[in-house]
Amino acid sequence: MATPSRVQLSLTEHPEFYLPGITAESAKKASELLQENHEQHHIFFNKDGFHNHIAHHLLTIYALAAPPHIIQYQYDHNKSYQRPAVSLEDSVMQDMRDPEKFNKYLGDEKYYHDFLIFFQDEMESKGWENVLNEYLFKGDERADDMLVRMFAGFLHPIIHLGFGVEFHQPAIIAEALAQAAIHSDWMKPFLIGAEKAAKENNVTQSKTLVELLDAIKADEKVAKAPRWDDGNKLRDGIVKRVPEEMIKYASQYVVHPEELEEKTAEMTNAAIYYTGAAQHPPHQIKFDFYYMHCTNSSIFFSAFLSAPWLSTASKRRLLEWKGRNDLAMYASRRAPDLLLDEITNYKPKEPTADKTDPWGPIFERVGRHEDDGHAAKLVRALAHGQVISAPYEEKDGFRIKGGMWLQLGHMAIDSVEAGEPHWVRSAGFEEAWEKIPERPRL
C-alpha cells in the first residue's frame, strides 16, 4: 500500500493516461527504484536548482508499459549525477510546526529534506488530501504563497504534484510539497495580480487562450519585452518589465464551473499548439524547452479535474492560473510565429505502418530514448491531448486537430533522436536557433 513515506504502484489504480500491458514486474521495479530515489536523493541535482526528474521519467515510461529492464536502464542513466539527501535538523522540524516560523525556511533548498519529512508527518496524521487542501487550496496567506511556489521553476513543482495525484502516491505528493516550499515566489505579483484584475473588471466572458496568444503576438511592447541576455526571461522580461500589460491579457482568461472539462481540453490544446508550432525553418524541427513544460504539465489538470477531494472552486483556480502562466510563458520567449503548416506538412522519419496502433512505435522509441524523461513526458502529453480534445476540435480555441496529433508525436521523437541539442531554448529569438542544424536539402 502506498503511504506518505512508501512508494507502491498498483495495477488496480490506473493513472490518467496509460497503455494496456503494464505488468506486475514493472510495477515492482518502478516502485523499488522510486523508493530508492525518494530516500537517497535531493530534489535538485546541483546547487543551481536543476531538478531531479527521476520520478517523472520512471512514472511516465511505466505508464507507457515499459518493461522492467528499460525502467532499470533509465534509472541507472540518471541516478549517477544526483545529489544525496541533506541531513535533517530537529530544531527546524519543530519550527515548521509553528505557522509563525514556517515561512522563514521557504525558498531555501537546504531545507528540502526537512520539508519532506514535515509534510510526510502531516499526511500521516491528517491524510494527504486534507494536507493539500490546507497547504495549497485553503485560500489563506500561507496556502496562496505555497500555491504560487507550485508554479515556480518552470512548473516543476506542480508537475511533480500531478504525478503524485495521478499515480496515487502520497510519497511523491510529499516530495512535490517540499519541492514547492524551496522554490521562490516571484510569480506572485503576476498570478495574484491577474486574479485580482479579473474580479475587479468583472470578467465574465473569457477569451480563448489562442485569441490571447494572437493578441500578445500583435503587441510589440509585450512580445519584444524579453531580451536575450535576461537571466530568466519570464521573470525579468515579462513579470518585471511589462507586468501591467501581461496582467491585462491574463485576466481576460476565466473559467466557469460548467466549463471545467472543456476549458481543461482548451488549455491543453493551446499549450500543445504553441509548443509544436514554434518552428523556425530552414532549421530542423525542435521543440522549445520552456514551452515543452507547459505541454508536459497539461496532462495533470485532467487528474486534478477528476479529483473528488478538490473543490470546484479550487479546480477553477488551478486551471485559470495554468492558462495565465502559459500566456506569460509564450510571451517570455519573444512570442514566436506559430506555423501550423510545419505540423501538417511534416514528413516523419519512420511513418506509421500499423494504422490500428499508430502511436505504438512512437511510445516504444521514446521509452528507449536516453534522456531525463522530458521526451517521454512530451509524447505522453501529446497522446493525452488528442484524447481530451477530440470532443471539442470543431470549436473556437482548438487549433490542433485530426491528423496533427500523430504528426506532433513523430515530430517529438524524431527531433530528439536527431541528436543534440535536443531542444531549442527560447524559440522566438534568432540567437536560440544558431546551434540548431538546418534541414537536409532535398
Mean pLDDT within 286-308: 98
CA distance 395 to 331: 24
The number of beta carbons lying within 10 Å of the beta carbon of residue 392 is 17
CA-based nearest residue to 158, from 266, 39, 27, 299: 299
Residue ranges of E strands in 142-297: 287-288
Predicted pLDDT at 86 = 78
CA distance 371 to 219: 37
Cis peptide before 336 (omega within 30 of 0): no
User: Between 92 and 323, where is the model more confident?
Assistant: 323
DSSP character string of 142-155: HHHHHHHHHTTGGG
CA distance 40 to 423: 29
- Give the confidence band of 354 by pLDDT, cuts at 50, 70, 90: confident
Predicted pLDDT at 402 = 96
Cut 0.95: pTM above it = yes
Mean pLDDT within 265-285: 98
User: Between 89 and 38, where is the model more confident?
Assistant: 38
